[in-house]
Amino acid sequence: MRVYDSAAIRNVAFVGHGAAGKTTLVDALAFVSGSSKRHGSIQDGTTLTDYSADEIERKHSISLGVGFAEWMDTKINLLDAPGFLDFLGEGTAALYSADAAIVVINATGGVEVGTEKVWEICDALHLPRLLFVTQMDRERADFERVFDDVKAHLSPKVVPVEIPVGSGADFRGIVSLLTGDTHLYKKGTKTGEYEVVPPPPETGDAYRKYEQQLTEAIASTDDALLEKYLGGEALSREEIIAGLRRGVLAGEIVPMLVGSATLTYGVRALLTEIVDLLPSPLEAPIPDKEGDHGGSPLLGRVFKTVSEPHVGDVTLFRLYRGVIKNGDEVWNHEHSVAEKLNHLSVQQGKERLEVPELRMGDIGSVAKLRDTHTNDTFCHRDRPVHMAPIPYPEAVATSGVVVKNRGEEDKLAAGLHKLHEEDPTFHFEYNSELAQTLIHGRGERHFEIVLGRLQKKFGVHAELVRPKVAYRETLRGKAEGQGKHKKQSGGRGQYGDCWIRLAPRPRGAGYAFEDAIVGGVIPNKYIPAVDRGIQEAAVRGVIAGFPLVDFQAECFDGSYHDVDSNEMSFKMAGILAFRNVAPKARPVLLEPLHDVTVRVPSEYLGDVMGDLSSRRGQILGTDSDGRRTVIKAIVPEAEMYKYATTLHSITHGRGDFHEEFRSYAEAPPEVTAKVAAEHKKEDKEE
Ligand SMILES: Nc1nc2c(ncn2[C@@H]2O[C@H](COP(=O)(O)OP(=O)(O)OP(=O)(O)O)[C@@H](O)[C@H]2O)c(=O)[nH]1
Ligand SMILES: [Mg+2]
């Protein structure tokens, strides 16, 4: 594989809504350029970047795939991101590692939720971008409608630089507004061969309209150009390309292109526009980094780790500064480990092609590193730096997970750990209080993939279960009573006897013990044992087996035996006293409440609030963040199960939410009764 200099590299992320046609387009770009030998398809499961068994089976992308197309002596690195929002982390990684984006839109659909989401990230990163309207060969494809939609919902800066000739089954050519040339495709062409003709009469009006818009937009990028244009002078082709490029880099113009990836129409033109209009790494700003004073000579960031069959862990990284040669050692500052980059490669889908070196800006891959993970920085050992990490979207869904076959618990933990390393939007924990493994991710589709991988890669058969809730108990009243432990079993007996008073304390105040014994009716040395007994019993609660918290216990009377009393007996007395008294002190169940912030387009406000209320949510208020309505509410944790899925279906994916623990509060009687009944059932089963 040839080594490309930084100026001859383009790093481009392909993003957009699910099923827009990104993977098919990336495959076509690599194929038409000659860099990939096969023209693959989703239907046959043969595309360049959807090569995992999961992707072939489900016919959509799940993880970020990387390939390249060599065109006009330039290497275009193609980062193909999945569109489904459950996998938005992959798109985030692609956009943070690229210098430009191609936002792909289906000509039969238009702007969708996934398009808006990635557009927001592109905006935040000030990424230069192109829009590619694909699937123009499909029935009901409508270029004009997509353009109107884009202007209204994405940005007024979008300007067509190409228009289609015909649409649907009649889609047969593309007019370039830059050159006035029309490419008429030869039927049955495999690599997009065409003849060049003048614009056909049917495109006349559209041609004049869009050509004028484009020229105006380009002229506006530069004062001298504008003057020339207003003075009625024609702009030269060089001026047009240079002006357009300037507009794209500044984010002032977003060119819109058109084609069909399956027919490879418009694919050659797209390759050329990528080279002509998008920045090389030399023109792209290096993302924020910390501790980098005076410029470290080497800088790279890992944006993905995949475990591949027969290879092991493959690390994908973007080089921001310096040169890496095959076999070089780099310093991973996060994990304080020197890593030797043997078999330095670039990815062409699942293929790894070895390269002697990579220049600044390029994207590479390397296998079997010792201790390198996603978001780690490569640098020189004597100039250690941390690059700011890629901000992966947060996990918003939680589920319990259990193994179907006993004995697979250890394998489950190992598998989940591995999956977390591959996917930063996936986390897991074992909650010992609840004796349950909890997984956190982006939604049910995400969890489905996790379960599938657990089985395929780690031989673990697991299933999702409702996550248990960490309830608490407390007291609302005062009560007093005795606990007496007495045993006479030959030899030395056991004797402990105490009287206690229990009373509530404020929420969050915890537990307090008071020694109110007078006259030594219980010897001093045994009183801490009473305290311990009470605390031990409180952990198991009295209503539903949950820890009883925020109360005070006062030991005010008791008796002892000269020979038979010991610490153990008084601890037992404390336990018995608690079990006797606590049920009389009006115990109540406490449930965890979450602060929930939901962001939705205002048209869904009513439905979303109605749903929150049906979850026993208390709406605190609504506000606007400029784009969307922000709803703040307090909702019991127990009612938030599968909220991500519900919100998605109410808002057609246009809603977002964030939740965090707020406090414990008394549960209503019907909830208490239900939880207590469940506890009784579980107790019996054990
Ligand atoms: N007719 C036609 N079908 C296309 C075209 N491009 C893609 N498709 C089909 O549209 C479907 C989705 O294509 P993909 O390439 O998987 O789309 P994607 O954007 O990668 O989808 P995700 O990765 O799941 O977000 C597949 O069935 C493709 O065969 C096109 O230009 N014309
Ligand atoms: Mg795809």
Instruction: Give residue 294's pLDDT band: very low, low, confident or very high (50, 70, 90).
Output: low
Q: At what angle do helices 88-97 and 113-125 cross, to 10 degrees?
A: 30
Give CA separation, 446 vs 54, 179, 426, in Å: 12, 46, 9
- Cα–Cα dist 432/416, whole Å: 17
C-alpha 190 to ligand 1 mean position (Å) = 17
Full DSSP string of 187-202: TT-SS--EEEEPPPGG
**Does some domain include residue 18?**
yes
**Ligand 1: nearest atom to the Cα of 24:** 15
**Does some domain include residue 416?**
yes
Mean predicted confidence (pLDDT) in 37-65: 95
C-alpha 91 to ligand 1 mean position (Å) = 17
**Ligand 1: nearest atom to the Cα of 26:** 15
Backbone angles phi, psi at 229, to 5 degrees: -65, -45
Which protein residue has the closest C-alpha to ligand 1 atom 11?
19
pLDDT of residue 656: 85
- Percentage of the chain exceeding pLDDT 70: 99
**Ligand 1: nearest atom to the Cα of 261:** 31
> Of 265, 283, 301, which closes a domain?
283
State which residues form the domain around 425: 397-465
- Is residue 295 over pLDDT 80? no
C-alpha 261 to ligand 1 mean position (Å) = 8
**Cβ < 6 A, ligand 1 pocket:** 16, 18-24, 41-43, 60-61, 82-84, 134-135, 137-138, 260-262
Name the closest ligand to CA 60.
1
Backbone angles phi, psi at 596, to 5 degrees: -120, 130
Q: At what angle do helices 223-230 and 204-219 cross, to 10 degrees?
A: 140
Full DSSP string of 431-474: ETTTTEEEEEES-HHHHHHHHHHHHHHH---EEEEPPP---EEE
To which residue do tokens 């046959």 refer?
44
Instruction: Give residue 488's pLDDT band: very low, low, confident or very high (50, 70, 90).
Output: confident
Q: For position 87, which CATH number holds?
A: 3.40.50.300
Which protein residue has the closest C-alpha to ligand 1 atom 12?
19
Residues 278 and 302 in one domain: no
Mean predicted confidence (pLDDT) in 207-211: 93
Q: For position 564, which CATH number holds?
A: 3.30.230.10
Residues 65 and 144 in one domain: yes
Residues 263 and 316 in one domain: no
Residues 579 and 602 in one domain: no
pLDDT of residue 289: 65
- Percentage of the chain exceeding pLDDT 90: 81
Pocket test for ligand 1, best of 42, 51, 118, 170 (most atoms within 8 A of CB): 42
Name the closest ligand to CA 18.
1
Mean predicted confidence (pLDDT) in 252-269: 96
Instruction: Give residue 290's pLDDT band: very low, low, confident or very high (50, 70, 90).
Output: low
Give the amino acid at 424.
P
Residues 171 and 104 in one domain: yes
> What's the domain count of the chain?
5
Note whether 126 and 251 are within 8 A (CB).
yes
Note whether 318 and 97 are within 8 A (CB).
yes
pLDDT of residue 257: 98
> Token digits for 19?
């099923």
**Does some domain include residue 59?**
yes
What is the spatial order of strands in the sheet that 551-559 belongs to?
479-487, 494-504, 551-559, 511-515
Residues 315 and 435 in one domain: no
- Which SS3 state, helix, strand or coil, does residue 93 take? helix
Name the closest ligand to CA 106.
1
> Of 465, 483, 502, which closes a domain?
465
Mean predicted confidence (pLDDT) in 559-588: 96
- Which SS3 state, helix, strand or coil, does residue 233 take? coil
**Does some domain include residue 501?**
yes
**Does some domain include residue 154?**
yes
Q: For position 448, which CATH number holds?
A: 3.30.70.870
- Which SS3 state, helix, strand or coil, does residue 86 take? helix
- Is residue 195 over pLDDT 90? yes
Which protein residue has the closest C-alpha to ligand 1 atom 10?
21
Residues 92 and 155 in one domain: yes
C-alpha 88 to ligand 1 mean position (Å) = 18
What is the spatial order of strands in the sheet that 363-367 belongs to?
337-340, 329-332, 377-379, 299-308, 312-321, 363-367, 345-348, 351-354
Backbone angles phi, psi at 166, to 5 degrees: 75, 170
Name the closest ligand to CA 266.
1
Instruction: Give residue 530's pLDDT band: very low, low, confident or very high (50, 70, 90).
Output: very high
**Does some domain include residue 679?**
no
Most confident of 97-111, 222-236, 385-399: 97-111
- Cα–Cα dist 64/52, whole Å: 11
pLDDT digits (tens, 9 = 90+) for 91-136: 999 999 999 999 999 999 889 889 999 999 999 999 999 999 999 9
Residues 234 and 140 in one domain: yes
Residues 112 and 234 in one domain: yes
Residues 91 and 110 in one domain: yes
> Token digits for 22?
């990104």
Mean predicted confidence (pLDDT) in 482-486: 96
**Does some domain include residue 300?**
yes
Which residues make beta-bridge pairs with 184?
A: 173, 195
Pocket test for ligand 1, best of 15, 17, 23, 24 (most atoms within 8 A of CB): 24
Instruction: Give residue 292's pLDDT band: very low, low, confident or very high (50, 70, 90).
Output: low
C-alpha 18 to ligand 1 mean position (Å) = 9
Residues 120 and 35 in one domain: yes
> Token digits for 186?
């030869």
User: What are the b/e assignments for 501-539, b being 16+ CB within 10 Å?
Assistant: bbbbeeeeeebebeeebeeeebeeebbebbbbbbbebbe
> Of 585, 606, 634, which closes a domain?
585
- Is residue 489 over pLDDT 80? no
Which protein residue has the closest C-alpha to ligand 1 atom 32?
135
C-alpha 353 to ligand 1 mean position (Å) = 27
pLDDT of residue 389: 92
Q: Which residues make Cβ contacts (< 8 Å) with residue 635, sequence separation at least 6?
A: 593, 594, 596, 612, 615, 616, 617, 618, 659
Note whether 48 and 33 are within 8 A (CB).
no
pTM for this entry: 0.87
C-alpha 80 to ligand 1 mean position (Å) = 12
**Ligand 1: nearest atom to the Cα of 27:** 15
Task: Report the length, in residues, of the chain.
Answer: 686
pLDDT digits (tens, 9 = 90+) for 68-93: 999 999 999 999 999 998 999 999 99
pLDDT of residue 329: 96
Q: For position 297, which CATH number holds?
A: 2.40.30.10
- Which SS3 state, helix, strand or coil, does residue 148 take? helix
DSSP 8-state class, residue 476: S
pLDDT digits (tens, 9 = 90+) for 429-438: 999 888 999 9
Q: Give the CA count within 13 Å in the CB-facing half-sphere of 103.
A: 28
pLDDT of residue 291: 58
Mean pLDDT value across the chain: 93
- Cα–Cα dist 70/346, whole Å: 13
Count of CB atoms situated within 10 Å of the CB of 428 = 20
Burial class of residue 463 in the structure, from the number of CB atoms within 10 Å of its CB (0-12 exposed, 13-18 middle, 19+ buried): exposed
Helix (H) / strand (E) element for 330: namely strand 329-332
pLDDT of residue 113: 85
**Does some domain include residue 680?**
no
Q: Which residues make Cβ contacts (< 8 Å) with residue 298, sequence separation at least 6?
A: 321, 322, 324, 330, 378, 379, 380, 383
**Ligand 1: nearest atom to the Cα of 61:** 23
- Is residue 578 over pLDDT 80? yes
Residues 101 and 209 in one domain: yes
